[in-house]
C-alpha cells in the first residue's frame, strides 16, 4: 500500500517514447512542475499530451514542447505559449482543441469507465461537423482535419457524442497526500488535476506535504488513492516554486 517513490526521476522512468499523458494544472496553477522536469531529463519523445493547456514557453509542459518532445496535444486552448502556437501553425505539432468543460468530462468519464457521452456543447460548430485543423502542412494548409461526430436529439435538443479519454500515464500536483495515494488539492489547483489523475492507467502524484495514512480526514480527501499508483514528496524548495502566469496589481485607492 505504500506508494511513495524515492524521486521524481524514478517515478517517470518507465514513460517511453510515444506514451500518452494526462497532465493536471491550469495555466501555471497546480502544474506538476517537478515531474515534468524529471520527464524532460528522462528523454522520452513523441509524447501525446492531454491537458487544459501547455503553460508558458519556459514552464510546465512548455519545456517539453520547446525540447521537441511532443507529437500531439489535446487541450482547450493555446493560451500564453508562443512556441505551442508556432509549432501548431508550422505543421510540427498535431493539436485537438476541445471545449473546456467537454475536455474535463472526457477525462472524468475515462476514469469512471464511461466510454462516451452526449453533450450539447459544440453542436452547430466544427466541433460536431468536423473540419477543425488538427495538423497543418509546411505551407499552412490543413493536412489532418477533425472528423464529423455523431449527433442525437434528446428532449428536442441536439447533442454531440464525445468519447472518453484514457492515457498511459497521468502526472498531477497536490497540496497534501498520504502514502496510500489519497490526495488533497489547494483551491484552484483542484481544476484539471482530479480528472487527469482519474484518466491515467498509471498516475503519479507530486505532493507538497506527505502524510501518514489516517492523517487526512476521509471527508477531506478530494481524490481517493485508488486512482493513484505513485507518490513523490516534494522538497520545501520545490513546493514553494509557484510562479504567477500574469501578475496583476490593483492601483492603491486613497483612503
Phi, psi angle pair for 82, to nearest 5°: -70, -35
Across the range 119-134, mean pLDDT stands at: 96
Q: Where does the pLDDT of residue 247 fall: very low under 50, low under 70, confident under 90, or very high at 90 and above?
A: confident
pLDDT of residue 248: 81
Q: Write down the architecture of domain 8-115+164-240 according to CATH.
A: 3-Layer(aba) Sandwich (3.40)
pLDDT of residue 126: 94
What is the average pLDDT value for the chain, to the nearest integer? Answer: 95
Which pTM value belongs to this model? Answer: 0.93
Q: Where does the pLDDT of residue 228 fall: very low under 50, low under 70, confident under 90, or very high at 90 and above?
A: very high
Residue ranges of alpha helices (H) inside the chain are 8-11, 33-42, 62-66, 82-89, 100-112, 126-129, 193-199, 236-240
**Taking 80 as the threshold, does the pLDDT of residue 254 lie above it?**
no
Instruction: Write the pLDDT tens digit of every residue in 167-182.
Output: 999 999 999 999 999 9
Instruction: Give the start-to-end residue ranges of the domains of the chain.
Output: 8-115+164-240
Are 33 and 54 in contact by the 8 Å Cβ rule? The answer is: no
Amino acid at each position: 500500500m505504500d506508494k511513495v517513490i524515492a524521486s521524481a526521476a524514478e517515478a517517470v522512468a518507465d514513460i517511453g517514447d510515444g506514451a500518452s499523458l494526462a497532465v493536471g494544472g491550469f495555466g501555471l496553477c497546480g502544474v506538476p512542475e517537478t515531474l515534468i522536469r524529471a520527464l524532460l531529463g528522462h528523454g522520452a519523445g513523441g509524447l501525446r499530451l492531454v491537458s487544459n493547456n501547455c503553460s508558458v514557453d519556459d514552464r510546465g509542459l512548455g519545456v517539453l514542447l520547446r525540447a521537441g518532445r511532443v507529437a500531439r496535444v489535446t487541450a482547450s486552448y493555446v493560451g500564453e505559449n508562443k512556441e505551442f502556437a508556432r509549432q501548431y501553425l508550422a505543421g510540427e505539432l498535431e493539436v485537438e482543441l476541445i471545449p473546456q468543460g467537454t475536455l474535463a468530462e472526457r477525462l472524468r468519464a475515462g476514469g469512471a469507465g464511461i466510454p462516451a457521452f452526449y453533450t450539447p456543447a459544440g453542436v452547430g460548430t466544427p466541433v460536431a461537423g468536423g473540419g477543425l485543423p488538427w495538423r497543418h502542412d509546411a505551407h499552412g494548409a490543413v493536412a489532418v482535419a477533425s472528423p464529423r461526430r455523431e449527433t442525437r436529439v434528446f428532449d428536442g435538443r441536439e447533442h454531440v457524442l464525445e468519447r472518453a479519454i484514457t492515457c498511459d500515464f497521468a502526472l498531477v500536483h497536490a497540496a497534501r497526500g498520504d502514502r496510500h495515494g489519497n490526495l488533497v488539492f489547494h483551491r484552484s489547483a483542484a481544476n484539471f488535476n482530479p480528472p487527469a489523475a482519474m484518466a491515467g492507467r498509471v498516475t503519479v502524484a507530486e505532493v507538497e506535504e506527505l502524510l501518514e495514512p489516517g492523517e487526512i480526514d476521509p471527508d477531506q480527501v478530494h481524490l481517493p488513492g485508488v486512482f493513484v499508483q505513485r507518490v513523490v514528496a516534494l522538497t520545501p524548495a520545490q513546493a514553494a516554486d509557484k510562479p504567477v502566469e500574469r501578475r496583476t496589481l490593483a492601483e492603491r485607492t486613497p483612503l
